Structure 1
Amino acid sequence: MTAPLELIKFRVSWKSCNVCRDTITFKSPREFCQHLRDFHCSKEGGSYMCHYGMNGVCPSLPLDGVNDKDYDDHVARDHVFGGDAGKCDASRKASCNTTLPSSVECILLSSSEPSIVQDQFKWTVYKASVNLAAVLNDPRLAKREVDFFTKTWGNDFEKTSILPSAYLPEITIEHFQKYIKKTTLRHKKHLRNQQRLCEPHKPNLDAFPSHIKQIEDNKAELSQVPKLFLLPNFSLENPDTFNAVFPWTQVEESRTPYHSESHPSSKLLQERLSHYLDIVEVQIAKQISMKSEAFFHAMTSHDELQDQLLHTCQAIKKLRDKVQTLDARLAVGPLKIMNRTRTRSNCIHLHNKLKLMSTIHQTQPTIQLLLSNNDFVGALDLISTSQEILSQELAGLHSFRHLGSQLAELEKLIEKMLQADYSKYVTSELNRPFTDLEVLMQEEKLVSIMFGLLRQDKLNFVDVYREEAFTALKAIIKQTVIEAVSEADDISTEGNVGSLADQMRLLSYGQWMDLLRRIFLNVMILLRRAQAFHGIVSDVIGIAAGRTKVPTPVSSPTHEGQNPLEEPKHLSTSVSDDVDVVITNADFVQLSSALKEMLCSICDNAHDRIVKVVVARAKDGFLERLSSSEFVTLCREVEGFVADCEGVCGRRSMSLRGSLQNQANKFVARFHEERKQKLSLILDNERWKQADVPSEFQDLVYHISQSDILSLPERRADSDRRPAEYIVVDGEQFAVVGTVLLLLKMVVEYCQCLNDIPTAAPDLLTRLIDLLKTFNSRTCQLVLGAGALQLVGLKKITTRTLALASRALQLVVHFMPRVQDHFQIMLPQRNQNMMKHLGQIVKDYNNHIEEISNKLVSIMDNMMEPLLSKYEVKAPVPSVCFRSICKQIAKLHEALIDVLPSNQVKDIFLRIDCSFKAILARKLSTLGVSNDGGPQHGLVTSDLVFYAGSYRALKGVEELSDSVNDVWLPR
């Protein structure tokens, strides 16, 4: 027998997998079993191991594995229908009068014991009542390291107490009293029923209530009826069912005369069926009798139910009528309005769609029109918009299936047109005739092309312009040279002259300077055009990047004379303020840097090209043979061009300046050699006599004093004035020789050359120092060293010669501070230490002047000492010795007073006087004469009075006559 149906509970656990995270729903237990075999099972040898559980471990299957059949039984028993929670313990299986197969599909109701398999997915560490230290606590506390956990996690790790939550009340047994009272009776009844179900196979019917006994009796009677008649799909129309109920073979055999003994079989069949019918009718009658009270109650209430049903039908009919009225009045009309509104909306949408289709159909003619007006940006925007509409609004239209590809090809064509038009524009712009004074032509076209290139992300236009500019520069310079050579009348381009450079070298200085000026002019015109292009493109990329809304006049060199408050016309006519941003900030920064570098590279290339012209002309030493004025003119022209280029690109190009510097160094070397040779030649022929000062030198000194600038003055109309005896410098007269005047003019020429060629300042200073040293050393050799005696045939070096040499040196020293200031301003910072050499020059000159003064004193000493050595204290008075000495002093005073200033003359005679007194004192001491008032003292006093009287007659040294008594040595 099977177990009672009330004791069976179907626990369907195969609907989903509890381990896999994805939500998979299985349609049958077979699919679930196949899923477990594929994903939660492993095979080692011939054994199967189940991994359906937490951490891949099945709690109910041995770890050593089972065979194939046992694995299927395990899955069906433990996992398909409820898992471990559905297994009955041994006692319950013993008490149940049933035998469970290996592949069961229904299991008994589980007891109240917890299931480890099911509960393991719900428990977390937060449900633990103690911490990890308490779980791992060793009872042998004395032998365990006390700070095993606290040394890492703190002293409160093991002793942490769980505080009660402020949000959860404390649950006690009183909270369950009401529920316990309510379920006690039901629980007791449940326990009794459980006890009865678990009794032996044949239950004691006496212990059941009467209705249960009745049910058992009915079941016993109904068991006589075959199960076939109780099937839900019982139908006599089925041939198999009909043959099973009526065995026609027995009926047919009963009709034959040979089987008359089988006749009772049909009657028996009829009686058996009648018996089944009686059993059923009796059971129905019993059921009716058992439910008679309810049956008669239903019959009595049938009429009332009919009346209520009638009233209900009438109410339903009235409700339907009202609903129909409401539908006709409130629903049908608004629905029609909504339908017509929706129809109108659909028509409008269809009309708009048709208009859009018509507009898209006119895309290609519109693009052609825009391209004819050079509106490349508008054409590209129209193509982009059309492509977007085709992909979104008109997607799937068969009539426009080829338009997208046609627009894509048209966009590529526009890109090629942009590049071709840009190259053509740049070439025509850079190669325009220079007679056209307009800086930039067709600005609107350039702006349109630039926006188109930026729109297509073609950012190589800077390189294209740079290369075209390089080519144009080369062609311009070559064409200018050809024109200059062809216009020159005094040279012949025929014969052995081959290259253009050779023909250019035949030009004179004036012709070559005119050529260089024309080259500078033409190159500057092209650079101005490049600067204008830079300004326009800078405005365009600024607008394209969203940096500027309206281009500023400052950034556009083509409108330098325009009112700053007026908007530039070249962009306002073709670009609106709401231009979309087509390049990123990074592209803007890159393009701005590239444009600036392009302008600088064009200027550098122009300098390099002009350097080739200069170097080609200087090949035969032409520039080195130029005069100072001619070379200065060249330098000024080059400096002007360099300054103009610096104004264009904002950066100084050094190639042309460097080439000019090399030529300037050669020029300075030749400039210095000419003047040094001239100075040496003049010194070799100098007779060291006082020279008259021509008016041009006085004008030079006056110009320097008035302007405080070391430069040559303009030639005056009355330059043929008579020469002066002295040259007046800042109110002081200088008696000089002719050489020092020429030296002074040379120094001024060096300073003026420095103004004209500032880059040659260090070289010029070095050369000037060499020139000044040459003059000082040669003067010393000729005067102090008496070299002039053999060189120019002087009879002797007189004191006047020495005085003139000293005065010449003093004139040079007088102008040295101005020279130092002039060079200090012009020298670069790294060469400022060269100024110490000028200070050394001043020191050497002063030492030389001091040596000349010492020489003058020593001459008088050499003269007085022999005379005084023969001095005798006797009559007559004054003595011959003193007369000779006073005569020599008068001659020296006469030689010096017109050359040297009075203070220097006084200083020299003071030293001579001291020397005289010292020599005389030694002589008197030798003679034994003292200031004792004797006759000899009187004679010496008379001679000294004569000596002092001679000083009273000399201009500027009168004071020396008051100290004649210093000759007497103290006793």
Structure 2
Amino acid sequence: MGLPEPARGYLTGVANNPRSGWLEYFGLPEDIDEWTIEDLRGLVVTPAPAFPAESPETKLQVTLADFRGYLESVGNPYRYLTANRPVAGGCNGDGGTSSSTQDTPSLAGVPEICFRNDFDLAQPDTFAFFSPPEQPHATMVMLERLTQWLDQVELTLLNEVSTRSDGFFEALESYDHLSQQVALGRSQIEALRLRIRALEVNLVEKSLSLPRLVRQRANTAALHAKLRLVHAVWRTQPTIQQLLAAGDFPGALELITSSQQLLDTELRGVTALSHLGRGLAETKALIQDMMNKDLLQVALGYELEHGAPLMPVEALASELDLRLSPLALGLLRLRVLHDALRALQDQLKKDVRALIKRRLQELLEAHGEASRPTDAAAAAAATAATASAAAAADGVPASDAAAADGSEPKVVDGGETVKPAKKIMDQLRELSLDGFEAVMAGVVAPLMVLLRRAAAIHTALKKALAASLATSVTSQADGGVEEEEDAAGAYAKQVEQQSAETLQAVCELAHERYARLLKVRKEVHTKLPLTLFVRVNRVAVEFIRDVQHLCGQPCHALGTELQQHANAFLDATHAEAARKLEAIVEVEQWKQVDIPSDYQDIVGSLVRKQVPKIQEAELLKLRENDAADKATAKELIVDGSAYKAVSSGLLLLSMVTHYLQCLANLQTVSTHVAQKLPALLKLFHTKAYQQVLMAGAMRPDSAGLKSISAKHLALSSQSLGMFLTLMPHIKAVLAAYVPEAQRSLLKEMDSATADYEEHQQQLFSKFVSILEERRREHVKKLAEALAPSEDRRRPETSACIKAVVDDIVKMHKTLQPLLTRHQLHAVFTQVLASFDAGLLASYQGLDCGPVFTRQCIVQDVHFVRTEVDKLHLVPNVFPELVKFAQALTLHQ
């Protein structure tokens, strides 16, 4: 009979105990030999009772009873050892702890491989380490070493276990204490549970019946309300179909929205209604498509499938409001009205382009401007014309279209060569003015119908949106959802702005197309007379005003083109006027001409700060010198002064009148006129200066004059003087039309005035130089004439002074009928001042010693003064010369 397993374990532990004594291993005192049998009875190890066979389910349940046998076997020795534990640090009978520790074998000699976690001798590498294949004889030695190493490890482990045995028993002690506490707590919990169960049965269950019934009643009421909502949702479906059949889209959308709101909130999770939500969404999408289509058809006035009619139909505002309002409100509720407006804008633009293209082609064909080949060529020519019309109306340049297929002849069946039809833009350019106005009237009339429809659409949408906003305000006052109403109001304002932008875009497109057609005629219109150009301009301005009245905002495309048109017209007018004026001044003979009475009317209007009212045809006759049947005059009265005129001066006056008429009829070119008119005046000044003062008129290729006489100078001065008098009045007329911000342009008129004044002063100086030159020639023999002589016994006026006086009188006689009194006075003031200084110098240079000479000087001065006084030029003639004569002594 062998030992039980616990006993074997004890013996193995004793055999391998690293401690030096048995008593130390069992923790017995050194005086064990003095103990009695009774003392050792408690130390006898009883074999562990056999455990009954247990089922797998029982093994899984661990209770306190499972540890009862262990506690009984260990409890008494443990309690005894605890009570009789030796003092820490004491030594046992075999030499103490220190000696046993010292006897513990070291693990330094054990290979590292033995301490690895994956140590397995069955692995080939590990086995080869302990039994190398090349040393088969060393296998036994290695096995002995392995056994030794294992013993060392085991002894080390036993040493560690014996060292930590105190901690083990302390753990057992704490475990026993905790077991007692757990048992006590378990018993308390069991008692509490029993008491709580009794209280629940006696007090709680009976009291909970009433709240349970209340909750059940509330749940039943909620279920009833849900069922009523489900019933209401189901009942709305036939109503939605009826509203759709009646065309009441807002009402149908109202029911759909309320039903979807219930399905998303109150009836969320009701699986029986899941298909209903999808059906409502599909119905809503169908309504949206139907309303979009109906909105476009009602707004445009025709079926989209059939296309736009040849001529647009006038829209009735009341009918459009009635039919468009529910559709707009429905789309507004869906928040998709902006998409419908975008599609409407695109379709309106498309209709405008197609209408202008079609009407332009039809009207040009109706006016017979395009050549129409016959027979087989007709079809090819018509096709070419149609393609050209499409390209022209779509903005393709005429030059590109002509280069495409308009420059080469086409060969049709039969070998006959036919010249292709003219392109639309070429036909438009070659139209007469009446024909062009008829074509534009035929295009503008249906175009305005289309634009009025667009304006009526915008008005109807504004009314519908205003009604929607009023409804939103009312519902908000009644306690509606404020945030949703604010969002709806913001969206309505956004849609209204988009509607206004749609109308603006359509009107801008109409302006662009009109401007494009007008641009083709720019070169033709710049050559028109002013009245005809103004007529074309006024038609375009009326179109701009009508469109702006519909749109409510200005459109700039056509206005910009009209401005360019007017500028080009004025540039062409100025270029032609400058060319003609330069040519006339070049051949001007500087002779006085008769002045038609119309020029006096022109001058009278300018003096009154008014634009002359003379008809352009009459003005043209004046410019062409074709006014033989008109009453004439010799002078022009300007501010009380009479001016003689030459042909170039009258031409310039008629041109100035034409410029001012352009200013009055085309007020957009006011700044342009303010620049061109001074330039024209300066051109006359420059050419007149070259021809008269610089003697350009004496060239054979020019006027061919033999000389530049005082008469020529006087008439040139008269022309300059007339315009100098008129310039302040011309400037005042310009200032009335030039904007305040552009008044600085009027400084050019001041510059022209300064040029004219300087030019006239140079002409006056020329008169002085002519007389001064003659005077110097005459006084060369003055000393000889005044010297004493046997032939002359009495003093008398010298012939030199008589010649000087004759020159003055002749010059006065020449200039008096030509110059104004002011000009004449200015000229002779300078002449007399120059003569006073020149004659004084001449007399002072004489030998005044002889009495006869002094008497002759006095006689000459008296003669000069007397004769010049007769001309009534200035009150005090030759003052310095008179002083000199008075200072002379006439006696010895």
**What residue in structure 1 maps to residue 770 of structure 2?**
859
* Aligned match for 1:410, one of 280, 283, 294: 283
Do structure 1's residue 607 and structure 2's residue 511 form an aligned pair? Answer: yes
Does the CA contact (< 8 Å) of 1:455 and 1:582 recur in 2?
no
**What residue in structure 2 maps to residue 886 of structure 1?**
805
**What residue in structure 2 maps to residue 473 of structure 1?**
352
**What residue in structure 1 maps to residue 710 of structure 2?**
799
CA offset at residue 715 of structure 1? 8.3
Unaligned runs of 5+ in 2: 1-61, 65-115, 118-169, 185-213, 375-419, 475-481, 620-626, 787-791
CA distance in 2, matches of 1:548, 1:969: 110
Instruction: Specify whether residues 399 and 536 from structure 1 end up closer, same or farther in structure 2 by C-alpha distance, changes over 3 A only.
Output: same
**What residue in structure 2 maps to residue 195 of structure 1?**
none
Do structure 1's residue 656 and structure 2's residue 565 form an aligned pair? Answer: no
* Aligned match for 1:446, one of 313, 324, 330: 324
**What residue in structure 2 maps to residue 302 of structure 1?**
none
CA distance in 2, matches of 1:958, 1:749: 44
Q: Which amino acid aligns with 2:837?
A: A
Does the CA contact (< 8 Å) of 1:704 and 1:711 recur in 2?
no
CA offset at residue 103 of structure 1? 6.7
Q: Which amino acid aligns with 1:792?
A: A
Q: Which amino acid aligns with 2:515?
A: V
* Aligned match for 2:544, one of 614, 627, 642: 642
* Aligned match for 2:820, one of 898, 901, 907: 901
CA offset at residue 664 of structure 1? 3.8
CA offset at residue 961 of structure 1? 7.6
Does the CA contact (< 8 Å) of 1:415 and 1:453 recur in 2?
yes
CA offset at residue 800 of structure 1? 2.3
Do structure 1's residue 507 and structure 2's residue 431 form an aligned pair? Answer: yes
* Aligned match for 1:700, one of 602, 613, 617: 602
Does the CA contact (< 8 Å) of 1:788 and 1:794 recur in 2?
yes
Instruction: Specify whether residues 725 and 414 from structure 1 end up closer, same or farther in structure 2 by C-alpha distance, changes over 3 A only.
Output: same
The DSSP-based 3-state class of the residue aligned with 2:645 is: coil
* Aligned alpha-carbon RMSD (Å): 4.6
Instruction: Specify whether residues 390 and 775 from structure 1 end up closer, same or farther in structure 2 by C-alpha distance, changes over 3 A only.
Output: closer
Does the CA contact (< 8 Å) of 2:795 and 2:852 recur in 1?
no
Do structure 1's residue 944 and structure 2's residue 855 form an aligned pair? Answer: no
Does the CA contact (< 8 Å) of 2:607 and 2:726 recur in 1?
no
* Aligned match for 1:102, one of 169, 176, 182: 176
**What residue in structure 1 maps to residue 34 of structure 2?**
none
**What residue in structure 1 maps to residue 461 of structure 2?**
537
Instruction: Specify whether residues 384 and 925 from structure 1 end up closer, same or farther in structure 2 by C-alpha distance, changes over 3 A only.
Output: closer
TM-score when normalising by structure 1: 0.57
Q: Which amino acid aligns with 2:449?
A: I
Instruction: Specify whether residues 453 and 803 from structure 1 end up closer, same or farther in structure 2 by C-alpha distance, changes over 3 A only.
Output: same
Structure 2 counterparts to residues 60-209 of structure 1, below 5 A: 101-102=175-176, 104-107=178-181
CA offset at residue 602 of structure 1? 2.0
The DSSP-based 3-state class of the residue aligned with 1:960 is: coil
CA offset at residue 903 of structure 1? 2.8
CA distance in 1, matches of 2:296, 2:847: 114
Unaligned runs of 5+ in 1: 1-27, 31-44, 47-89, 111-338, 551-577
CA offset at residue 860 of structure 1? 0.8
**What residue in structure 2 maps to residue 35 of structure 1?**
none
Instruction: Specify whether residues 108 and 687 from structure 1 end up closer, same or farther in structure 2 by C-alpha distance, changes over 3 A only.
Output: closer
Q: Which amino acid aligns with 1:476?
A: L
* Aligned match for 1:840, one of 751, 761, 766: 751
Do structure 1's residue 724 and structure 2's residue 622 form an aligned pair? Answer: no
CA distance in 2, matches of 1:803, 1:608: 56
Instruction: Specify whether residues 917 and 477 from structure 1 end up closer, same or farther in structure 2 by C-alpha distance, changes over 3 A only.
Output: same
Does the CA contact (< 8 Å) of 2:775 and 2:804 recur in 1?
yes
Q: Which amino acid aligns with 1:776?
A: H
Q: Which amino acid aligns with 1:453?
A: L
- Once structures 1 and 2 are overlaid, which stretch shifts more, 426-435 or 777-786? 426-435
CA distance in 1, matches of 2:681, 2:614: 19
CA distance in 2, matches of 1:814, 1:925: 43
The DSSP-based 3-state class of the residue aligned with 2:796 is: coil
CA offset at residue 833 of structure 1? 5.2
- Identity, in percent, stands at 27
The DSSP-based 3-state class of the residue aligned with 1:653 is: coil
CA distance in 2, matches of 1:366, 1:762: 70
**Deviation string, structure 1 residues 594-628 (Cα, Å, up to 9, x no partner):** 3343333222222222233224445xx43343333
* Aligned match for 1:632, one of 534, 538, 546: 534
Q: Which has the higher contact order (CA 8 A, sep 6+)?
A: 2
Do structure 1's residue 770 and structure 2's residue 679 form an aligned pair? Answer: yes
CA offset at residue 709 of structure 1? 3.4
CA distance in 2, matches of 1:802, 1:389: 104
**What residue in structure 2 maps to residue 135 of structure 1?**
none
Instruction: Specify whether residues 398 and 674 from structure 1 end up closer, same or farther in structure 2 by C-alpha distance, changes over 3 A only.
Output: closer
The DSSP-based 3-state class of the residue aligned with 2:301 is: helix
* Aligned match for 1:423, one of 296, 317, 333: 296
* Aligned match for 1:524, one of 444, 448, 453: 448
CA offset at residue 593 of structure 1? 4.0
The DSSP-based 3-state class of the residue aligned with 1:701 is: helix
**Deviation string, structure 1 residues 178-234 (Cα, Å, up to 9, x no partner):** xxxxxxxxxxxxxxxxxxxxxxxxxxxxxxxxxxxxxxxxxxxxxxxxxxxxxxxxx
- Once structures 1 and 2 are overlaid, which stretch shifts more, 409-418 or 369-378? 369-378
Q: Which amino acid aligns with 2:332?
A: L
**What residue in structure 2 maps to residue 709 of structure 1?**
611
Q: Which amino acid aligns with 2:828?
A: F
Do structure 1's residue 587 and structure 2's residue 484 form an aligned pair? Answer: no
Does the CA contact (< 8 Å) of 1:624 and 1:666 recur in 2?
yes
* Aligned match for 1:877, one of 796, 800, 824: 796
The DSSP-based 3-state class of the residue aligned with 1:436 is: coil
**Deviation string, structure 1 residues 696-739 (Cα, Å, up to 9, x no partner):** 1111111222353366468899x965211111123322222121
CA distance in 1, matches of 2:781, 2:846: 11
The DSSP-based 3-state class of the residue aligned with 2:555 is: coil
Does the CA contact (< 8 Å) of 1:683 and 1:778 recur in 2?
yes
Does the CA contact (< 8 Å) of 2:610 and 2:733 recur in 1?
no
Instruction: Specify whether residues 849 and 707 from structure 1 end up closer, same or farther in structure 2 by C-alpha distance, changes over 3 A only.
Output: closer
The DSSP-based 3-state class of the residue aligned with 2:642 is: strand
CA offset at residue 854 of structure 1? 0.4
CA distance in 2, matches of 1:622, 1:701: 32
Does the CA contact (< 8 Å) of 1:426 and 1:468 recur in 2?
no
Does the CA contact (< 8 Å) of 2:320 and 2:456 recur in 1?
no
CA offset at residue 455 of structure 1? 0.9
**What residue in structure 1 maps to residue 644 of structure 2?**
735
CA offset at residue 383 of structure 1? 1.7
The DSSP-based 3-state class of the residue aligned with 1:485 is: helix
Structure 2 counterparts to residues 268-307 of structure 1, below 5 A: none
The DSSP-based 3-state class of the residue aligned with 2:637 is: strand
The DSSP-based 3-state class of the residue aligned with 1:630 is: helix
CA offset at residue 912 of structure 1? 1.6
CA distance in 1, matches of 2:421, 2:183: 125
Q: Which amino acid aligns with 1:920?
A: L
CA distance in 2, matches of 1:548, 1:396: 32
CA distance in 1, matches of 2:670, 2:608: 24
Does the CA contact (< 8 Å) of 1:531 and 1:599 recur in 2?
yes
CA distance in 2, matches of 1:436, 1:546: 30
**What residue in structure 2 maps to residue 785 of structure 1?**
694
- Once structures 1 and 2 are overlaid, which stretch shifts more, 358-367 or 903-912? 358-367
CA distance in 1, matches of 2:599, 2:591: 18
Higher fraction of helix:
2
CA offset at residue 528 of structure 1? 3.1
Does the CA contact (< 8 Å) of 1:450 and 1:540 recur in 2?
yes
CA distance in 1, matches of 2:63, 2:445: 99
Q: Which amino acid aligns with 1:485?
A: L
